[in-house]
Amino acid sequence: MTLALVGSGFDVRLRTAVLLLAAFACSLTIAALLWRWLGTRMNRDRWVRPNYRGERIVAVSGSLVVAVGAVGAAAVAFLAYRSSGWFAYSSSLVDQERFAALEEAGSLDLLPVDAIRSPSMATATGAVAAVLALLAFGVLGFRDDTRGDVGAGGFVAHFGRSWRQRRLTTGVQKALGGGVAALVCTQIALFGNVSSLWSGHGWADGFAVIGSLEDIFIGSHDRWELVPLLRGALIVALGANVLNLFDRAPGRATKVALVWWLCGLVPVALADPAWPQGFSFPIADSAWLVWRTPALWAAGAVGASVGLLRSELHERHMQGDVGVNATGAVLGLATVAMASATVEWVLLAALVALNLASERWSFSRMIDAAPPLRWLDRLGSPYR
């Protein structure tokens, strides 16, 4: 039974490649069409800002990236929970039938939490966390784009200005809010469980709702660990900020996000890594897609960013913090769900180094000083 569900290694890679390509291509197309349809409607005073050349253009087109990426991740959650075949995860058909029978009878509470957090449920829960990350960082970025404090850049500048003025700048609000959002999303992705949302209880029952929320945020008690949670949350938050630091020229942040996805997530999704994955569940040996699905969470946001790339390079709009922060956060979350502890520590050190370096050096000058990077940075831009 298990072999019938899982299939050969080549079959797994082929399915994964098809899903990744389809998600990326659909997101790219939808985002490009949405911009053609909504671009003129987004030309509002509050949403328009001068770019690096002083031209006033739409500065919040990244809201389309958030919308498309969130819908894509939500579709992954739905397919992982409801579908079979390509999204078949249980160790046997008997397990699937037992789970379905208990679900239909509204008796999932008879199963221990670890049994409910099967690979399919881990996948659905992680995709829900990806949706929350996109929305939370998108909202924080949108607020900074439309009501942001002008003249302060970087953590040190924002916190210094907040201290002098005895108020929280929008940059500090975004940093604090992003830290909380990163903790919540990482906790849900690694240890939470969304199965109780479909357990058949009545939403008028307040205690049942509270229990469901507890399962979503806490999930598997005996597998919870503080260090992976804090490490993952830092990667999510710093990943969002690093992508924002690269957003100083048209299309640059999108190119960095595409490289992160293509070189960091896709190869792992198409391989069979020997090191342990970030996901925590008991019957991982038969979950053919669960380790690969995090790359699928990020495919929507990255594909949507690429869909807007041509018009962004022609300086008709810029994504703003709303787009780049959300994309960086979901890329970080996907990496945390796929990576081993060693890989996460290395990535965290690199992100910390980049954030510290940005306080002293200009990334634009460093890129211009390296001819290959300068060529890639200006590729496709008619004004640079």
Tens of pLDDT, residues 101-138: 655 665 544 444 444 456 667 777 888 899 999 999 99
Q: Is residue 384 part of a domain?
A: no
331-to-133, 261, 326 alpha-carbon distances in Å: 10, 7, 9
Given the structure tokens 């979901």, which residue do they identify? 330
**pLDDT band for position 211 (50/70/90)?**
low
Compute the mean pLDDT over every residue in the chain, rounded to the nearest whole number: 77
Q: Look at residue 383 and tell me if it is in a domain.
A: no
Task: Read off the tokens for 176.
Answer: 């604090």
Q: Count other C-beta atoms under 10 Å from residue 361's C-beta.
A: 10
Dist CA 58 CA 10 (whole Å): 45
- In contact, 222 and 281? CB cutoff 8 Å: no
Q: What is the C-alpha to C-alpha distance for residues 310 and 280, in angstroms, rounded to an integer?
A: 39
Yes or no: say if 215 and 327 are a contact pair by the CB < 8 Å rule: no
Please count the structural domains in the chain: 1
d(CA 266, CA 298): 10
d(CA 171, CA 178): 10
The model carries a pTM of 0.82
Give the whole-angstrom CA distance, residue 221 versus residue 16.
31
Map residue 285 onto helix, strand or coil.
Answer: helix
Q: Is residue 371 part of a domain?
A: yes
Residue 344 lies in a domain: yes
Spatial neighbors of 104 by CB under 8 A, at least 6 apart, are none
Domain-embedded: residue 102: yes
The DSSP-derived string for 121-172 is HHHHHHHHHHHHHHHHHHHHHHHHHHHPPTT--HHHHHHHHHHHHTS--HHH
Which domain, by its residues, includes 75? 2-378
Number of H helices, E strands in the chain: 18, 2
Instruction: Report the pLDDT value the prediction gives residue 380, as an integer from 0 to 100.
Output: 86
Confidence class for position 309, pLDDT limits 50, 70, 90:
very high
d(CA 287, CA 296): 15
Is the model's pLDDT at 274 over the cut of 80? no
Which helix (H) or strand (E) segment is 312 a member of? helix 309-313
CA 303, CA 68: separation in Å to the nearest integer?
Answer: 9
Residue 294's pLDDT is what?
Answer: 85
